[in-house]
Structure 1
Amino acid sequence: MILGLVLVLGGCTAPQSRYVAAPSPAPPPAPVTVAVTSPAAGATGVSTALEIRTAVTGTSTATVTLTGPGGPIAAEPHPDRASWIPAAQLAYGAAYTATVTATGADGKPATASSTFTTMAEPGRTAWAGLNLADGETVGVGMPVVVDLGRDVADDRREAVLRRLSVRSDPAQVGGWHWFSAHEAHYRPREPWRTGTRIDVRLGVGGLDMGGWYGEADRSASVTVGPDQRLVVDNGTKQMTVTRDGAVLRTIPVSLGKPSTPSSSGNLVVMEKAQSMVFDSSTFGVPVNSPDGYRTTVYWDLRLTWGGEFVHAAPWSVGDQGERNVSHGCVNMSTENATWLFHLAQRGDPVTVAGTEVHVGTGDGWTDWDMGFDQYQQVGPSPRPGLADAAQEARQR
C-alpha cells in the first residue's frame, strides 16, 4: 500500500499565536518647566508699562502674578499670547516680583520668579485723552478715540498699540487707525451691536513714546444703546431718524448755502450741548461783517471739528425742507431739535448725502467714512488728521 502525503498551504494565512503581546507602558508625562525671561532678575529702570515674558514647557496653561508695594497684581495674556500685561500700572521706583506658575499632568506645580525695580518717575510726560465717559451709553457708531497728548515717534507706534486694549462683550472684530501722529482710533468692522459692553484700557503710564512718556493709565467701560441713525438728504432737504430700522420721524432741514456748503459723508454725533455761542470770528469772519454773527444756539449736536452741527434754527423754519441758507450746519425747528437732542446718543451714525463738498478725513470722527480694510492701514506715516486744528473749531 502506498501512502500519499498531501501538504496544503494557505496562500497568505499564518497560524495564530496563542500569545498576545502586552501593551507598551505609556511614557511618563513630560515635566513642566517654567521661567520668567523678562524682566530679568535684578533688572533696574524697568518701564512701569512692562510686558512680562515667560518660557513654559510641558503644559499650555500658566498664570502670572506680580507682588510689590501695593500688594498682588494680576496679569493677563496679551491677545498675541507672546507676553503678559499687568492689570494695573506699576509704581515708579519700586521693587516687584513676577511669578509664573504652571501645573503639569501629574498635578505638580512648578514656579519661577524674577525680582526687578521699576524706573524713576520720568520728567517729560503727557496725559492720554479718551473720548469715552465711564458708564456712558453710546451709539452703535461710537469709535474709541485716544489722544496721546504729543506726537508718537514712528518707531514707537507699534508698542503704543500693544498697550491699548479694547474688549467687547459679545466679542466683535475691530481694528486701529492713526488719524495723526498723536491720535489713534478704534472701530469695529460693523457697527456695534446694541447691548454690547465695551471695556477700554490705555496702559500707557510710563511707556516710552520717543523721548517722552505716558503720564498714567486710563480706562472706561461703556454700553451700546439702541441702533439710532440720522440720514440727511440734500436732494429732499429732509432728515430721516430711525431706531432699530424703524422710522421715528422725518424732519425738514436746511443745509449750508452754496458759499458755505455742508459736508457730505459718514459721521457720528461727537458732542451734545443744550446751548452754545456760535461766533464767526473763530474762523476769521468779523462779527460786524455782512456774513458775521455771534449768537446763542440751542439743542446742538456736533458733527465736525470744523464747526458743523445739527441744531435748532427758528430763524430758518420757512426755508427748511425747501432751500439751503445756513453757514454749513443742519438747521431744523426748535421742536424737532429738542426732540432729537433728547433722543440722540454720542456715537449715533449721521450720514449726509448730496452736498457740494465731502468731509475731510479727520474733520470729526470720520472713522466710518472709509472701508474697514483701508481703516486698518496703521503704518508709520498716516495722513495727518484735521483734528489737529480742533482747538479753534469753527462753529457754523
Structure 2
Amino acid sequence: MDLRRRLTLLAVTIAATPLILGGCTADRKPAAGPAPGRAAVDLAVTLTPADRARDVPVSAEVGTTVTGGRVTAVKLTDDKGKQLAGEPREDGSSWVPAAPLQHGRTYTAEVTATGDSGRTTVRRTTFTTGPKSTRQAITSTLYFSGNQTYGTAMPVTVAFDPGIPKEARAAVQRRLFVKTDPPQPGTWSWLEDGTQVYYRAPDFWKPGTKISVRAGLEGLPIGTKYVGDEDRRASSRIGRQVALEIDNATKQMSVFQDHKLIRKIPVSLGKPSTPSSSGKMVIMEKHQQTTFDTRGEPDGGYVVDVEDAQRYTWGGEFIHAAPWSEGDQGNTNVSHGCANVSSAAADWLMGITQVGDLITVKGTEVQLQPGNGWTAWNVSWDEFVRGSALPVPPGLRPAPAPTQGHPGAVAGGSSPEPAPSASGG
C-alpha cells in the first residue's frame, strides 16, 4: 500500500455539531446562525498527514479540509516542542511550513477551525517523517537570484535535470511559490520536455515590483523514480523599463527606456551560414569580459576574447563589442549569430541594460526555438497558460494589447538543454 493511499485511509474526519440550549429570556438576542432559508452545516475538519502516519515526506504540508467553517489557526511543533513557521495557501487547502521538515522526526499539527455559527473546535494530528530517500534526486536550478535588480521582462525560471515527467508536473508546480508586491498575478508554464518552467504575468512587471520566489522541492516525491533535491528561495526587485529591438532589414538596434526611444545603434547579425534567431528573448547574463570558445562546435573552431557581452540564448547569442566588424555594422551581417556592435555602443549598453530586459529580433532566417534561453515571452498569453500543469488562478485573462510605444508584443516561437554555451561571434 503506498503512502498516499495509507494517508487517505487513515485521515480523520470529525464533525462537531453546534450545541443548542433551550431557555426563555425576554431580552435574549438570537444566536448567530445561517441566513434564513439556509440549512445549518455541521463543522467538519479533515487533516493530513493522518494521525500516527509514518514515512511522511519532508516536503509535507498540513492539509486542512473544512466544511461548515474555516481554519483560523495552525500550530506545528516538532518532537522537541519547537514551533515551526509557515503560512496557509491562498486557497486554504493546506498550511505550508516555511522550511522542509527534518528526516526521522515526529511532528504535531494543531488546527483550530471556526464554524459558521461562531463555535470553534481544535483538532490534532501527529506524524513521523521518513528517512532520506534513496531515489535519484532531480537537479533543480533557480534562475532568479536574491538582492538583484531585474528588467521588466524577467521570468522566474526553474530548470530541471532530468526533465520532469508530465504526470509529476502538477505536484512540482504546486511547490513553486511566487509573491509579488504590489500584486501582479501570473502562472507557470512548462516546456514540452519538462526541462524548464517559467513564471510570468500576462503583461510585463511594473517597475519597482518586489518578487519573492521559493522552489520548495526538497524531499518531494516526483513520479515513481525521483525526488526533489533542495529548497531554494530568493527575493529581488524590478528596475526601470528597458527594451531593445533589432531589425535585420535595417541592421539597426532601437533602445527604449520608459517606452521612449533613446538611441539607435548599427548592428551586424549572423551571416547566412550562422543566422541569428528571430523572436522575443531576455538578457540572461552580462560580462565585462568573456571568452568565446567554439572548438568542437558546428561552424565553430575559434577562440576569441570579447568585451561587454550580454547573453540572450543558451545557444550562444550575445550582444557584444566587435571592433573587427565596425565597418560592416549597419549594412552587412558577418557574425556567427551574435549582435555585433561597436566598442563604444557596447560599453554604453552595459550601463543601460539589466538582466531581464526584453530583446526583440526580427527579420532573420530562423525563428527562436522554445527553451533556447528564457523564452517565456516568445508565445502569446493564451499559449503560455496552456503550458500550466495546474488550473490558472481566477481572473487571469488573455493579455491586453501592448501599451503604445512599449516594445514587447508577444509572438509565437524539443528544447536545447539549458546549459551555457561559450559560443558567440
TM-score range, shorter chain: 0.7 to 0.9
State the Cα distance separating 1:28 from its structure 2 match: 5.0
Q: SS of the residue aligned with 1:236?
A: coil
- Between the aligned partners of 1:31 and 1:91, the Cα distance in structure 2 is 38
What corresponds to 1:41 in structure 2?
A: 51
Q: Are 2:316 and 2:420, in contact at CA under 8 Å, matched by a contact in 1?
A: no
- Between the aligned partners of 2:116 and 2:157, the Cα distance in structure 1 is 45
Matching of residue 390 in structure 1 with residue 419 in structure 2: yes
Matching of residue 26 in structure 1 with residue 56 in structure 2: no
- Between the aligned partners of 2:60 and 2:162, the Cα distance in structure 1 is 21
Q: SS of the residue aligned with 2:161?
A: coil
What corresponds to 1:240 in structure 2?
A: 254
Q: Deviations over 1:331-385 (max 9, x none)?
A: 11111101101221110000011112111111111111100111112267xx932
What corresponds to 2:121 in structure 1?
A: 110
Matches within 5 A, 1:247-326: 247-285=261-299, 287=301, 293-326=302-335
Q: Are 1:256 and 1:330, in contact at CA under 8 Å, matched by a contact in 2?
A: yes
Q: Using a 3 Å threshold, how does the CA distance of structure 1 residues 322 and 392 change in structure 2: closer, same or farther?
A: closer
State the Cα distance separating 1:394 from its structure 2 match: 3.3
Q: Are 1:32 and 1:102, in contact at CA under 8 Å, matched by a contact in 2?
A: no
Q: Are 1:34 and 1:112, in contact at CA under 8 Å, matched by a contact in 2?
A: no
Q: Using a 3 Å threshold, how does the CA distance of structure 1 residues 351 and 28 change in structure 2: closer, same or farther?
A: closer
State the Cα distance separating 1:32 from its structure 2 match: 8.3
Mean Cα deviation higher: 366-375 or 247-256: 247-256
What corresponds to 1:369 in structure 2?
A: 378
- TM-score normalized by structure 2? 0.80
State the Cα distance separating 1:152 from its structure 2 match: 2.1
Which of 191, 197, 207 pairs up with 1:194?
A: 207
Q: Using a 3 Å threshold, how does the CA distance of structure 1 residues 338 and 391 change in structure 2: closer, same or farther?
A: closer
State the Cα distance separating 1:254 from its structure 2 match: 1.1
- Between the aligned partners of 1:305 and 1:98, the Cα distance in structure 2 is 45
Q: Deviations over 1:22-58 (max 9, x none)?
A: 9996245479846452111100001111132224355
Which of 198, 208, 223 pairs up with 2:237?
A: 223
CA RMSD of aligned residues (A): 2.5
What corresponds to 1:347 in structure 2?
A: 356
Q: Deviations over 1:194-235 (max 9, x none)?
A: 011111111111101121211221111110000100111112
State the Cα distance separating 1:393 from its structure 2 match: 5.6
- Between the aligned partners of 1:70 and 1:345, the Cα distance in structure 2 is 46
Question: How many residues are matched?
Answer: 367
Mean Cα deviation higher: 277-286 or 108-117: 277-286
Matching of residue 164 in structure 1 with residue 176 in structure 2: yes
What corresponds to 1:336 in structure 2?
A: 345
Q: Are 2:371 and 2:418, in contact at CA under 8 Å, matched by a contact in 1?
A: no
Q: Using a 3 Å threshold, how does the CA distance of structure 1 residues 43 and 61 change in structure 2: closer, same or farther?
A: closer
State the Cα distance separating 1:187 from its structure 2 match: 1.4
What corresponds to 1:3 in structure 2?
A: none
Q: Are 1:35 and 1:111, in contact at CA under 8 Å, matched by a contact in 2?
A: no
Question: Percent of pairs identical after alignment?
Answer: 43
Q: SS of the residue aligned with 1:45?
A: strand
Matched letter for residue 340 of structure 1? L
Q: Deviations over 1:250-281 (max 9, x none)?
A: 11111111221111111010111111111231
What corresponds to 1:129 in structure 2?
A: 141
Matched letter for residue 158 of structure 2? V
Q: SS of the residue aligned with 1:373?
A: helix
State the Cα distance separating 1:138 from its structure 2 match: 0.4
- Between the aligned partners of 1:32 and 1:134, the Cα distance in structure 2 is 46
- TM-score normalized by structure 1? 0.86
Q: SS of the residue aligned with 2:314?
A: coil
Q: SS of the residue aligned with 1:67?
A: strand
Q: Are 2:74 and 2:109, in contact at CA under 8 Å, matched by a contact in 1?
A: yes
Q: Are 2:187 and 2:388, in contact at CA under 8 Å, matched by a contact in 1?
A: no
Matching of residue 152 in structure 1 with residue 152 in structure 2: no
Matching of residue 327 in structure 1 with residue 357 in structure 2: no
Matched letter for residue 384 of structure 1? S
Q: Using a 3 Å threshold, how does the CA distance of structure 1 residues 209 and 182 change in structure 2: closer, same or farther?
A: farther
Q: Are 1:239 and 1:251, in contact at CA under 8 Å, matched by a contact in 2?
A: yes
What corresponds to 1:378 in structure 2?
A: 387
Matching of residue 212 in structure 1 with residue 226 in structure 2: yes
Q: Are 1:43 and 1:116, in contact at CA under 8 Å, matched by a contact in 2?
A: yes
State the Cα distance separating 1:100 from its structure 2 match: 0.7
Q: Deviations over 1:309-341 (max 9, x none)?
A: 000000111111122111111011111101101
Q: SS of the residue aligned with 2:287?
A: strand
- Between the aligned partners of 2:354 and 2:321, the Cα distance in structure 1 is 17
Q: Using a 3 Å threshold, how does the CA distance of structure 1 residues 46 and 348 change in structure 2: closer, same or farther?
A: same
Mean Cα deviation higher: 173-182 or 139-148: 173-182
- Between the aligned partners of 2:236 and 2:388, the Cα distance in structure 1 is 28
- Between the aligned partners of 1:54 and 1:362, the Cα distance in structure 2 is 37
- Between the aligned partners of 2:299 and 2:268, the Cα distance in structure 1 is 21
Unaligned runs of 5+ in 2: 1-25, 34-39, 390-412
Q: Deviations over 1:128-171 (max 9, x none)?
A: 21001111110011111112332323221111111101111111
- Between the aligned partners of 1:158 and 1:227, the Cα distance in structure 2 is 33
What corresponds to 1:10 in structure 2?
A: none
Q: Are 1:176 and 1:187, in contact at CA under 8 Å, matched by a contact in 2?
A: yes
Q: Are 1:282 and 1:393, in contact at CA under 8 Å, matched by a contact in 2?
A: no
Which of 102, 111, 115 pairs up with 1:100?
A: 111
Q: Are 1:51 and 1:83, in contact at CA under 8 Å, matched by a contact in 2?
A: yes
Q: Are 1:34 and 1:110, in contact at CA under 8 Å, matched by a contact in 2?
A: no
What corresponds to 2:185 in structure 1?
A: 173
State the Cα distance separating 1:284 from its structure 2 match: 3.1
Matching of residue 87 in structure 1 with residue 87 in structure 2: no
